[in-house]
């Protein structure tokens, strides 16, 4: 937000963590970050700054920050479901992958084994991002003895234009490479058991998940939540707003048909050798349910253990708390059975 010809209020990231400050005309910065790590919807008047902010131990809240002494008051929201001492805190991840490096956040398991099993979270978009703020889904896993790697694979926002552009025509390659590389990196650091890694993702993250399971031998199992199994079919059935998105991510569906075929999990379902669980909204108009049904059938035909749960009233992303809880519980049970056959 501009404050003058050369001064402004802004939020930016450092090592993935959000910052908030006023940039003065002389180049100095007055920092208002405090204990928070994600800021949006900025506003201000002569006495206060206002924003929606979240931290590693508290969900989104509306804040009022006094400019004179930086005293912060929560106006609404921000009530955490757990005491701070019971919450796993995000640690910045920056690790080698392919011919570059990738980013994300590591959440240690809150109890259990010295080298715990790992769940790799792959965000959707695919050109969006994850943030180091309290996410009850992540805490669900860390409370049950799993470590979590929440990835901002190459192509995610928040790390500069070159990093964002790295996904151009490379979707299904560099994102998969980054998801697999984090397992070997964390195992090499002694933080997880590399033989007990799982991968999960929703929408575009589900596509990365299925590609990783089809084209790599890294994970014990995975979960696709309303994930893409056939990108060519997606171009024909998805909503108009994203109809041409895949041209940038993979290429022209006609001219680059071989590239699409090489990166279509459904066509390579025979290469998947580990169990997979699916969760799908029946009213989804973005990734239609047939994408999940086709992938499930291909795995079952190949004798691979696979399960699917369909939610009649859900669309793209689950909204009902009962369905969110059902999906989490059944995903956890699925992994637990694979770890303890």
Domains in the chain, number: 2
Asked whether residue 205 carries a pLDDT value surpassing 80, the answer given is yes
292 and 208 together in one domain: yes
In a domain, 2, yes or no: no
Residue 240 confidence (pLDDT) above 90: no
pLDDT at 196: 98
Name the 3-class secondary structure at 147.
Answer: strand
Q: How far apart are CA 215 and CA 96, in angstroms?
A: 20
Residue 239 has a pLDDT of 60
Task: Look at residue 241 in the predicted model and tell me its pLDDT.
Answer: 59
* Tens of pLDDT, residues 146-170: 999 999 999 999 999 999 999 999 9
- Return the bridge partners of 104, or none: 93, 151
Q: Is residue 128 part of a domain?
A: yes
Work out the pLDDT band at 39, boundaries 50, 70, 90: very high
Q: The tokens 């992938």 sit on which residue?
A: 295
Q: Chain-wide mean pLDDT for the chain?
A: 96
At residue 242, the pLDDT reads 67
What pLDDT, on a 0 to 100 scale, did the predictor assign at position 96? 98
- Asked if residue 121 and residue 53 are part of one domain, the reply reads no
Helical axes 204-215 vs 174-188, angle rounded to 10°: 70
Q: Tell me the C-alpha distance between 217 and 197, whole Å.
A: 11
Q: What is the mean pLDDT of residues 32-59?
A: 97
- In this structure, are 169 and 34 located in the same domain? no
Same structural domain, 197 and 329? yes
State which residues form the domain around 40: 8-77
CB 129 within 8 A of CB 157: yes
Q: What is the CATH number of the domain that holds 309?
A: 3.40.50.1820
| Mean pLDDT value of segment 20-41 | 96
pTM value is 0.95
For 132-144, how does the pLDDT look when each residue is reduced to its tens digit (9 = 90+)? 999 999 999 999 9
CA distance 85 to 310: 36
**pLDDT tens digits for 80-89?**
999 999 999 9
The last residue of a domain, from among 59, 77, 95: 77
């Amino acid at each position: 937000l501009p404050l003058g010809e050369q001064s402004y209020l802004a939020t930016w990231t450092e090592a993935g963590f959000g910052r908030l400050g006023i940039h003065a005309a002389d180049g100095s910065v007055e920092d208002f970050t405090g204990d928070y790590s994600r800021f949006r919807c900025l506003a201000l008047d002569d006495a206060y700054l206002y924003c929606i902010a979240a931290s590693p131990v508290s969900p989104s809240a509306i804040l009022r920050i006094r400019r004179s002494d930086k005293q912060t008051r929560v106006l609404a929201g921000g009530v955490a479901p757990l005491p701070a001492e019971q919450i796993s805190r995000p640690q910045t991840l920056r690790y080698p992958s392919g011919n570059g490096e990738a980013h994300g956040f590591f959440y240690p398991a809150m109890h259990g084994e010295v080298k715990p099993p790992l769940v790799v979270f792959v965000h959707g978009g695919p050109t969006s991002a994850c943030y180091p703020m309290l996410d009850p889904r992540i805490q669900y896993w860390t409370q049950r003895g799993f470590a979590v790697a929440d990835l901002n694979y190459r192509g995610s926002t928040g790390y500069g234009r070159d990093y964002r552009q790295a996904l151009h025509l490379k979707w299904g390659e560099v994102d998969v490479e980054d998801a697999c590389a984090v397992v070997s990196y964390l195992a090499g650091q002694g933080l997880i058991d590399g033989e007990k890694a799982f991968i999960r993702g929703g929408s575009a993250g589900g596509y990365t998940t299925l590609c990783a399971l089809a084209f790599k031998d890294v994970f014990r199992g995975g979960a696709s939540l309303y994930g893409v199994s056939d990108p060519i079919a997606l171009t024909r059935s998805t909503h108009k707003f994203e109809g041409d998105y895949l041209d940038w991510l993979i290429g022209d569906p006609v001219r680059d048909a071989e590239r699409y075929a090489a990166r279509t999990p459904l066509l390579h379902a025979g290469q998947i050798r580990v169990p997979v669980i699916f969760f799908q909204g029946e009213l989804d108009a973005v990734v239609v349910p047939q994408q999940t049904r086709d992938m499930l059938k291909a795995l079952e035909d190949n004798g691979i253990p696979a399960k699917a749960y369909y939610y009649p009233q859900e669309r793209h992303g689950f909204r009902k708390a009962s369905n969110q809880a059902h999906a989490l519980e059944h995903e956890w049970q699925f992994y637990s059975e694979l770890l303890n056959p």
